[in-house]
Chains A and B, each alone.
Chain A
Amino acid sequence: DTGVSQDPRHKITKRGQNVTFRCDPISEHNRLYWYRQTLGQGPEFLTYFQNEAQLEKSRLLSDRFSAERPKGSFSTLEIQRTEQGDSAMYLCASSLARQGYEQYFGPGTRLTVT
């Protein structure tokens, strides 16, 4: 299967700990997106990369959050000093730049901060 993959699928952490998530996009896709979804809401845009460049960040992305895509392939999303409000599903999506509207989502990483 060559779809978007994410790891881990579930993460439970204690408040104040750091966590890192990984996303591997569809191989030929040069755009990679991160969204966050809380219960009862639709996904909310966090940030996106075109190749290795991070082109846009939502104001939802506080300075405790950092994302990288060092070689324009996989991406990582790190949350430092986690808070209970960070508990959510973190979704990664990818697309071709010329078809940015057609975004394919990975299975997500469910984060629970206790």
Chain B
Amino acid sequence: QKEVEQNSGPLSVPEGAIASLNCTYSDRGSQSFFWYRQYSGKSPELIMFIYSNGDKEDGRFTAQLNKASQYVSLLIRDSQPSDSATYLCAVFLNDYKLSFGAGTTVTVRA
């Protein structure tokens, strides 16, 4: 079983719509969860992190965590063409490493 799994996508949304990305993880003891954005040919960039059950909002991004269901999601509101990228979900394990999902590619149509 993979440590982190994401919807493979690709996900195509019209400009101004909400993009919804999902991620599940296998280690029930995981405490810290991250969303990275990666533009094609570039390195991952941290955009959100969440530790507590519930929602965390930062600008147009909302991260949601449900530890009982081992589920993390990211909502991108008012999607813009500049949001077109691959979004990586990551879990912090063993106090040193990030375990990443394979990523979901999002395309925002103008």
Contact = CB atoms under 8 A, between A and B. Distances in A.
5 nearest A-B pairs in the assembled complex, by CB-CB distance: A42-B100, A101-B92, A45-B97, A105-B43, A101-B32
A101 B44 contact: no
Nearest to A45: B97
Interface residues of A, number: 23
12 contacts: A41-B103, A42-B88, A43-B100, A45-B99, A48-B96, A56-B94, A101-B49, A101-B98, A105-B43, A105-B44, A106-B43, A108-B42
A55 B95 CA distance: 12
Interface residues of B, number: 22
Contacts of A100: 92, 95-96
Interface in A28-54: 31, 33, 35, 40-45, 48
A102 B43 contact: no
Contacts of A44: 100
Interface of A: 31, 33, 35, 40-45, 48, 55-56, 89, 91, 100-108
A42 B102 contact: yes
Contact of B97 (A42, A48, A104, A105): A48
Nearest to B101: A42
Interface of B: 4, 32, 34, 42-46, 49, 88, 90, 92, 94-103
Given A40-B102, A105-B44, A106-B43, A33 B97 contact: yes
A106 B45 CA distance: 9
A92 to B, nearest CB: 9
A36 to B, nearest CB: 11
A23 to B, nearest CB: 12
B97 A56 contact: yes
Nearest to B41: A110
A107 B38 CA distance: 11
A60 to B, nearest CB: 12
